């Protein structure tokens, strides 16, 4: 039974909830529990979309610095890649995902949010990658996912300075996608995630793979991947259901089977 990270499922929406007071600091145990929750969400057929949430006051203020301070170079050589895999495990969920961010999302906390497809934040949120202030760099995907999200110049500014970014600036530069009142963060995430509960599950997974993996290579390779995934969907029940429904009833009325 996980101590700090749980997967709660309600109405087809899975919520990966962090609860390690007071700031949801991410130590090795939390990393392992995040990875386990993400893997469970990925495989459960009753989970159609996923919210990552740290509670009403804070998302996650970063790594457990006290644990890092005790970690030797030799130990980190062994742990750095598992750390990256744990914080990036949400990105491997083949379903729509959204980070619901209140308060601080810093360092490893923001790296966890970067693995989601969408980020919704409270207007009081503070975001950033302040690892440079500790004499290190982001090690859980921050240099890579942030640069892909906002571009290399903005990512370098944020990583070099380690400064905290307000919700409004984060929205302006593309770090986040929606800003709401702090009390409305989770409900806004539910509304977004709820759009996909009765949708074509296999097609969502294909779309996510095409976009994410396509960005890792050149355009021609991405187009070939897209073509292969597109063709494969013609073997699904949902393709037949969706097209027949469109012919008979118009767009947006299909009742998909998820197969």
Contact 13, 47 (CB under 8 A): yes
As a whole number, the mean pLDDT across the chain is: 96
Q: What are phi and psi of 180, to 5 degrees?
A: -135, 175
What is the per-residue pLDDT across 126-176, written as a single tens digit (0 to 9) for each?
999 999 999 999 999 999 999 999 999 999 999 999 999 999 999 999 999
**Distance between CA atoms of residues 196 and 243, nearest Å:** 18
Q: Where in the chain is the domain with CATH 1.10.12?
A: 201-249
Question: Is 8 a catalytic site residue?
Answer: no
The closest of 81, 77, 98, 71 to 31, measured between CA atoms, is 81
What confidence score (pLDDT) does residue 1 get?
Answer: 76
Say if domain 201-249 classifies as CATH 1.10.12. Answer: yes
**Distance between CA atoms of residues 236 and 232, nearest Å:** 8
Q: Where in the chain is the domain with CATH 3.90.226.10?
A: 5-194
What confidence score (pLDDT) does residue 13 get?
Answer: 98
User: Which CATH superfamily hosts domain 5-194?
Assistant: 2-enoyl-CoA Hydratase; Chain A, domain 1 (3.90.226.10)
Question: Is 237 a catalytic site residue?
Answer: no
pTM of the model: 0.95
Q: Which of 111, 178, 226, 248 is catalytic?
A: 111
What confidence score (pLDDT) does residue 94 get?
Answer: 98
What DSSP designation does 137 have?
-
Q: Which of 131, 169, 178, 226 is catalytic?
A: 131
**Distance between CA atoms of residues 45 and 9, nearest Å:** 11
């Amino acid at each position: 039974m996980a101590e700090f990270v749980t997967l709660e499922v309600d109405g087809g929406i899975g919520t990966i909830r962090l609860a390690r007071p007071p700031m949801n600091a991410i130590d090795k145990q939390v990393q392992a529990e995040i990875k386990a929750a993400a893997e469970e969400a990925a495989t459960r057929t009753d989970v159609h979309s996923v919210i990552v949430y740290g509670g009403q006051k804070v998302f996650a203020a970063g790594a457990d610095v006290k644990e890092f301070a005790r970690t030797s170079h030799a130990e980190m050589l062994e742990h750095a890649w598992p750390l990256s895999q744990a914080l990036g495990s949400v990105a491997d969920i083949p379903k729509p995902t959204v980070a619901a961010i209140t308060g601080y999302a810093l360092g490893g906390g923001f790296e966890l949010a970067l693995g989601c497809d969408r980020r919704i934040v409270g207007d009081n949120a503070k975001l950033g990658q302040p690892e440079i202030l500790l004499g290190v760099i982001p090690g859980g995907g921050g240099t890579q996912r942030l640069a892909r999200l906002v571009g290399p110049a903005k990512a370098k500014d944020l990583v070099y300075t380690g400064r905290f970014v307000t919700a409004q600036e984060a929205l302006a530069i593309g770090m986040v996608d929606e800003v709401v009142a702090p009390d409305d963060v989770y409900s806004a995430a539910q509304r977004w995630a709820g759009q996909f509960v009765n949708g074509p599950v296999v097609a969502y997974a294909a779309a996510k793979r095409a976009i994410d993996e396509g960005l890792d290579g050149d355009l021609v390779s991405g187009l070939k991947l897209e073509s292969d995934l597109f063709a494969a969907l013609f073997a699904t029940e949902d393709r037949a259901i969706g097209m027949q429904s469109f012919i008979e009833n118009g767009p947006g009325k299909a009742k998909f089977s998820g197969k």
